[in-house]
Structure 1
Amino acid sequence: MHDPNPGLDRLTTPCLVLDEARMTRNIRRLAAKAEALGVTLRPHLKTAKSVDVARRVLTGGSGPATVSTLAEAEVFAAAGVQDILYAVGIAPQKLPRVLELRARGCALVILIDSLAQAQAVAEAAQAAGQPIPALIEIDSDGHRGGLRAGDPELIEIGRRLHDSGAELRGVMTHAGESYGVDGSAAHAVFAGKERDATVAAARALREAGLPCPVVSVGSTPTAHAAEDLSGVTELRAGVYMFFDLVMAGIGVCDTNDIALSVLTTVIGHQHDRGWVLVDAGWMAMSRDRGTAAQTVDQGYGVACDLGGRIYPDLIMRQANQEHGILALRPGSTERLPNLPVGTRLRILPNHACATAAQHDRYHVIPEDGSGALMEWNRFGGW
């Protein structure tokens, strides 16, 4: 991160800090990767939940984009993002909002993986007299929802959509199990699973006489490790624009790529225990302990100085609602740094999505080095 920014000294802590230069570098890295692989990049905006970030990550600011809530779709559509995939299985009760968004000009596509959903989509499309395009979710690694590429129900769902006034747009998968392995070689294996599963499903649909123009894959680990996406049309990823300690822990990025941090202030000490108390607890960091199962457990986050330089082995070992306890990681031979009351620190998060969700804005260090902090709003809700 940059040298200490005097603007950070004037902020009320805890608050969320975003390094625009790092974010921009991360965005460009994956854009270049997608271009080299010959696929369209469809960034996931669920981590950012910010129109300002969307304008910097999306081509022309209008899409294509991925979202995880209809609230995201509504906010981004109002800001001019028109090509949106809602990449969570649709609940039938949400279809009126889908139709309303589409009626306002948003080319929203939804996701299904069952005949029950296909039936609900078909009925809603027929009643409204307008098509609702849908992708069928494919299970490529047993992580969550979706159909196996060889499941006969795939063709039944495809026909139900295609013959009903809805629209079969294609297939999609997400290899969430890639988060549980370490290194680009292991992530490349999962990228291959994503490709093979979706390409096989697309082939099955086409051989049944059904259209399948979209073949969509992606997670942040697999997007960065993919080597061959033949037969795939688009690539999705989300947390890559910010990165976090979980991604660093499995080798997708380095800690120097993490663009997001929480600004906090030292409020006390327990010298006999080697503790430094700060005013950022789990309400600021979230309760996410995503590195606990990794080779290096980072507690609730890694402590940095105001300029973003990491204090060796100093982590947030414990977190209460509004108190964080910093201490050296177990077994460390480092010396605890001198951090008087009032010292400002920055804490790198385990999971950028969860930490960002605790805050309503980003305090942005501009990449042009002007020194004047910017403020970008973020939103929540469903």
Structure 2
Amino acid sequence: MSISTCLTKIDTPFLFVDKTKFDRNVLALREKLAMHDVVLRPHLKTVKSIAGAKHLLVDFDSPATVSTVKEAEVFAGAGYTNLIYAVGIAPQKLPRIQTLLNNGINISILLDSVAQAKAVVAFCQAQHINIPTLLEIDCDGHRGGIQPDDAQLIEIANTLHQGGAELRGVLTHAGESYDCSSEQALIAAAEGERLAAVIAATRLIESGLPCPVVSVGSTPTAHFAKNLAGVTEVRAGVYTFFDLVMAGIGVCQPEDIALSVVTSVIGHNEKKEWLFIDAGWMSLSQDRGTRTQRKDCDYGLVCDSNGDIIPGLQVIGTNQEHGIIATVDGSKLPTIAVGTQLRILPNHACATAAMHAGYYVGHSDQIELDYWQRIQGW
């Protein structure tokens, strides 16, 4: 039985993971970073699944990254013990972090301000606990973080170290790499990310402060880093699935994308040459991450039931439960019967996956599909 036959047994729309592509993507980055002799700390915010994590992490003590405390709690409950919560800490979340630490979970938090550091120190002193803490470094002006040469870096570090929290190191994320449009720009983004983290770490060490962890990472920079000297670990998340944004900046090819939304044709508008599907923004998401790229993929590229891209077709519009497919290259809309299953490649894998409770997973010689339930909530 073929995968496409297996998929026809499931009511659309739903998420499908091509396990062959998934495994290939996972192995490729693992092998690349092994050549640099650095640790890979996968970001589980993309997969968000216990069943999926076992294919990324070698064992329960393997390093991993999470983006919500709920993820940390669920992965910890499944036995995973080595986590970074890579979002700036809000003080009201600290009791949940304490519970994880008390249960033997090696979890670090992240912050980038004196106010956050003082809140963490106050909590540590009140609860008689040391919370491992990383300082977020701004390597490209993308979002938050401390500039590596900012005087506040040492002030924040001293607040933590002298106040009783565990200063564990620095962490940075080259978010602007998602806007790169050439290999040279991606290589430069990776080096800028590395350099910012290493400069910050060096300043801490020269000030007599501990900095055992120097953490960098994004999927683009992880794939294009040429030099990781001074780095202890690399984080990446969407590399497992890839998506059209990653393809648009040259990190992968559309054929490498392992995640798709399986949908059914539900009608036609022959006058407008539109094809209607039962996947709207509730299943595809409203993410339009490719609209500023050289190729705007609208709401996703269209594949046949075997996962082969149909040239010229895109989802040009979405309503809540309707998607509209049309040609974007001037060609005539092909005849596709009502009830036909298609697959839609997503702009942003994380956003599309967030619209679903789980994934159906399979490869070409698999008789029955697996199901990976996703973690939801914060």
TM bucket (normalised to shorter chain) is: over 0.9
Structure 1: 5+ residue stretches without partners:
none
2:324 is aligned to 325
1:278 is aligned to 277
**Residue 366 of structure 1: how far off its partner (Å):** 3.4
2:156 is aligned to 157
1:345 partnered with 2:342: yes
Write the mapping of 1:204-223 to structure 2, written as runs, cut at 5 A.
204-223=203-222
One-letter amino acid of the counterpart of residue 161, structure 1: L
- CA offsets 1:31-53 (integer angstroms, 9 cap, x no match): 01111111100000001110011
Write the mapping of 1:169-208 to structure 2, written as runs, cut at 5 A.
169-208=168-207
**Residue 69 of structure 1: how far off its partner (Å):** 0.3
1:228 partnered with 2:227: yes
1:379 is aligned to 375
What's the RMSD between the two structures over aligned residues? Answer: 1.1
Which of residues 336, 360, 377 is equivalent to 2:357?
A: 360
Query: Which secondary structure does the structure 2 equivalent of 1:63 belong to?
Result: coil
2:111 is aligned to 112
**Residue 3 of structure 1: how far off its partner (Å):** 5.9
Greater alpha carbon shift after TM alignment, 72-81 vs 178-187 = 178-187
**Residue 221 of structure 1: how far off its partner (Å):** 0.4
TM-score calculated relative to the size of structure 2: 0.98
Work out whether residues 117 and 156 of structure 2, in 8 Å CA contact, stay in contact via their aligned partners in 1. Answer: yes
Q: Aligned partners of 1:12, 1:354: CA distance in 2, in Å?
A: 21
One-letter amino acid of the counterpart of residue 263, structure 1: V
**Residue 257 of structure 1: how far off its partner (Å):** 0.7
1:52 partnered with 2:48: no
Q: Aligned partners of 2:284, 2:162: CA distance in 1, in Å?
A: 48
Greater alpha carbon shift after TM alignment, 276-285 vs 332-341 = 332-341
1:240 is aligned to 239
Query: Which secondary structure does the structure 2 equivalent of 1:10 belong to?
Result: coil
Greater alpha carbon shift after TM alignment, 315-324 vs 3-12 = 3-12
**Residue 4 of structure 1: how far off its partner (Å):** 4.4
Query: Which secondary structure does the structure 2 equivalent of 1:136 belong to?
Result: strand
1:101 partnered with 2:100: yes
Query: Which secondary structure does the structure 2 equivalent of 1:137 belong to?
Result: strand
Query: Which secondary structure does the structure 2 equivalent of 1:268 belong to?
Result: strand
Q: Aligned partners of 1:337, 1:238: CA distance in 2, in Å?
A: 36
Work out whether residues 2 and 367 of structure 2, in 8 Å CA contact, stay in contact via their aligned partners in 1. Answer: no
**Residue 128 of structure 1: how far off its partner (Å):** 1.5
Query: Which secondary structure does the structure 2 equivalent of 1:317 belong to?
Result: strand
Query: Which secondary structure does the structure 2 equivalent of 1:265 belong to?
Result: strand
Work out whether residues 185 and 225 of structure 1, in 8 Å CA contact, stay in contact via their aligned partners in 2. Answer: no
One-letter amino acid of the counterpart of residue 148, structure 2: A
**Residue 61 of structure 1: how far off its partner (Å):** 4.3
One-letter amino acid of the counterpart of residue 75, structure 1: V
Work out whether residues 6 and 371 of structure 1, in 8 Å CA contact, stay in contact via their aligned partners in 2. Answer: no
- CA offsets 1:275-298 (integer angstroms, 9 cap, x no match): 000000000000001111111110
Q: Aligned partners of 2:337, 2:94: CA distance in 1, in Å?
A: 55
Write the mapping of 1:251-262 to structure 2, written as runs, cut at 5 A.
251-262=250-261
Write the mapping of 1:40-79 to structure 2, written as runs, cut at 5 A.
40-79=39-78
2:4 is aligned to 5
How many correspondences in the alignment? 378
Work out whether residues 81 and 107 of structure 2, in 8 Å CA contact, stay in contact via their aligned partners in 1. Answer: yes
Write the mapping of 1:262-341 to structure 2, written as runs, cut at 5 A.
262-329=261-328, 332-341=329-338
Q: Aligned partners of 2:159, 2:231: CA distance in 1, in Å?
A: 24
Work out whether residues 5 and 371 of structure 1, in 8 Å CA contact, stay in contact via their aligned partners in 2. Answer: no
TM-score calculated relative to the size of structure 1: 0.97
- CA offsets 1:103-140 (integer angstroms, 9 cap, x no match): 11110100010011111111111112121010000000
**Residue 372 of structure 1: how far off its partner (Å):** 1.1
Work out whether residues 300 and 349 of structure 1, in 8 Å CA contact, stay in contact via their aligned partners in 2. Answer: yes
Structure 2: 5+ residue stretches without partners:
none
**Residue 370 of structure 1: how far off its partner (Å):** 2.1
1:136 partnered with 2:144: no
Runs (4+) off by over 6 Å? none
